[in-house]
Amino acid sequence: MILDWMYWTKPTAIFFTALFLVLAAMTVWQTLAPSVPRRGFLPLVTTPGTRLFIGIITAIFIHLAWLGLTDLSLWIVFPFAVGWIVLVMIWG
């Protein structure tokens, strides 16, 4: 197939689909009801889009730190990372 060279796997496909769905949902939400930028516990004025970006990036770093420092399963830290994203989205 023409996409063979991309070496798709099921987990990465799920990851990207989820990411695009979240982005699409954010776009629809912000188009229908635009949010006003505000200041939360993060040291800068943010919109939900920026908070989502910060949340996802830091969540990835949490996973990487877990991988580098421990030998335990990633699923242990996964709920905490998701919780962190939610935390940043609501109060960040």
- Given the rule CB under 8 A, which residues bind another protein? 2, 4-9, 11-12, 15-16, 26-27, 30-31, 34, 44, 47, 49-50, 53-54, 57, 60-61, 64, 67-68, 74
Q: How far is the CB of 91 from another protein (least distance, A)?
A: 19
Q: How far is the CB of 12 from another protein (least distance, A)?
A: 5
For another protein, the closer of residues 37 and 83 by Cβ is 37
Measure the N-to-C terminal CA separation of the chain; round to a whole number of Å: 44
The answer to whether the beta carbons of residues 53 and 89 sit under 8 Å apart is no
Structure tokens at 59: 């969540």
For another protein, the closer of residues 6 and 79 by Cβ is 6
Q: How far is the CB of 61 from another protein (least distance, A)?
A: 7
Segment 25-28 long-range contacts (CB within 8 Å, at least 24 positions apart)? 26/52
Q: How far is the CB of 8 from another protein (least distance, A)?
A: 6
Instruction: Look at the block and give the residue holding tokens 């399963």.
Output: 73
d(CA 6, CA 9): 9
